Amino acid sequence: MNKQPKDFSYALSSYLSVYLPGTKGVSKNTVLSYRDTFSLLLIYYRDCLGIAPEKLSFQQIDRALIEGFLTWLESSRKCSVSTRNQRLAAIRAFFRYLQVYHPEHLLLCQEIIGIPSKSSKERMMNYLDLDSLKVLLSMPNPSTRQGRRDTVLLSLLYDSGARVQEIVDLCRADVRTTFPATARLSGKGGKVRIVPLSADMAQLLQAYLDELAQLGRAKGTDALFCSRSGQKMTRAGVAYILAKYADMARQAVPGCVPVPFSPHCLRHSKAMHLLQAGVNLVYIRDLLGHTDLRTTEIYARAETEAKRRALEAASPVKSDGKYPSWTENDQLLTWLQSFGRTDI
């Protein structure tokens, strides 16, 4: 009886601390993402079902409760459908591991793995045109150290097309400002890629590096972007900085920055601008670090949709919707009814 409550905690601990980093070799960020999913699951059991995390066992887990957890994510925590599906994917991955290493729970594993993802409407991709981008990048105050840091941060997010985690993980040694200027980014799954930087970005970055050297942060292993306290900047910190300047840009030029707007939208903006400039999708894929060209094709579809909307707005052909009903067109109905008949 004393061992029963520990079966789930033992399996989860082994999965997060041994199997994922050791056997699978996934990145630290992936492990943290899985950890966050199960932290939320334990909170759900504690707050909604009254089951303390240390007392949770496999006997208290079934498909209905996992589905209840997913509903709770959407209703109580206001998570999007994509976030809900991401949490479900992490749970299913854990139970796929269980059915191999703990086959005594095979039936439970199959029931939970069988929970389907929820379909969602495709969201419109938010990105900036070049004029709006210039407005956004002009918001930081260049007369302050923090403003100069923020200018470089936002400019590098755009110029490199990097994910926000790739930017916060950058060290001084990862950037090269002499020709050809590059940034070494560590992406998903531990994949590393070298991306080119523009001459203007290299000049801006070199001035920033010189200022860091004056502050005593000249080591190659020093974080490139730090908070006011000197700690390595976090994704949340970057999101806060961008949100602040996005609000300032909206006040300066109403409507120039869409809502919502996240650091990832700067990555979208870079990809869209390259596409509009005629750059091949294969090169855009390599810059963004996509493993599959189909992922990059979303930018081509978004560009096509943007052109369609622009053409519709400029088209002189307009419809008032006043078309006669087919049921009122006797000749058309007669023709349709006789279509394909051989006895006429």
Tell me whether residue 210 is in a domain. yes
Active site residue 267: yes
Active site residue 163: yes
Tell me whether residue 120 is in a domain. no
Q: Do the Cβ atoms of 182 and 198 come closer than 8 Å?
A: no
Judged against a pLDDT cut of 90, whether residue 27 lies above it is answered with no
Which residue reads 């005593």 in tokens? 216
* 191 and 57 inside one domain: no
Catalytic residue among 188, 193, 232, 250: 188
Judged against a pLDDT cut of 90, whether residue 26 lies above it is answered with no
* 137 and 71 inside one domain: no
Give the pLDDT band (50/70/90) at residue 2.
very low
* 86 and 136 inside one domain: no
* 162 and 261 inside one domain: yes
* 30 and 155 inside one domain: no
Active site residue 299: yes
* 109 and 140 inside one domain: no
Burial class (CB in 10 A: 0-12, 13-18, 19+), 264: middle
Q: Pick the more confident residue, 143 or 295.
A: 143
Catalytic residue among 163, 268, 273, 285: 163
Judged against a pLDDT cut of 50, whether residue 203 lies above it is answered with yes
Q: Do the Cβ atoms of 188 and 289 come closer than 8 Å?
A: yes
* 104 and 224 inside one domain: no
Tell me whether residue 225 is in a domain. yes
- Cα(178)–Cα(58) distance, rounded to whole angstroms? 58
Judged against a pLDDT cut of 70, whether residue 142 lies above it is answered with yes
Active site residue 102: no
Boundary of a domain, candidates 113, 141, 164 = 113
Q: How many domains are contained in the chain?
A: 2
Tell me the pLDDT tens digit for each residue of 265-278: 999 999 888 888 88
Range among 113-122, 221-230, 302-311 with highest mean pLDDT value = 221-230
Catalytic residue among 102, 149, 285, 290: 290
Structure tokens, 79:
């998570």
Catalytic residue among 105, 267, 268, 285: 267
* 195 and 273 inside one domain: yes
Active site residue 10: no
Q: Given this model, what pLDDT does residue 329 score? A: 57
Tell me whether residue 121 is in a domain. no
Distances (CA, A) of 314 to 272, 317, 318: 22, 9, 10
Model confidence, pTM: 0.68
* 105 and 135 inside one domain: no
Tell me whether residue 16 is in a domain. yes
Tell me whether residue 177 is in a domain. yes
Tell me whether residue 144 is in a domain. yes
* 105 and 139 inside one domain: no
Structure tokens, 153:
């941060």
Judged against a pLDDT cut of 50, whether residue 176 lies above it is answered with yes
Active site residue 273: no
**Alpha carbon of residue 277 to chain centroid:** 24
Alpha helix (H) residue ranges in the chain = 6-14, 28-49, 63-75, 81-101, 106-113, 130-137, 145-160, 164-168, 199-214, 235-252, 263-276, 281-288, 293-314, 330-338
CATH of the domain at 294: 1.10.443.10
The domain in which residue 232 lies consists of 130-314
Nearest to 58 by CA among 112, 137, 130: 112
Q: What is the DSSP letter of 179?
A: S
Which residue reads 């007369």 in tokens? 143
Tell me whether residue 293 is in a domain. yes
* 104 and 149 inside one domain: no
* 178 and 71 inside one domain: no
- 11-31 burial, b at 16+ Cβ within 10 Å, e below that, comes to bbeebbeebbeeeeebbebbb
- Cα(13)–Cα(144) distance, rounded to whole angstroms? 46
Sign of CA dihedral 266, 271, 274, 275: negative
**Alpha carbon of residue 47 to chain centroid:** 29
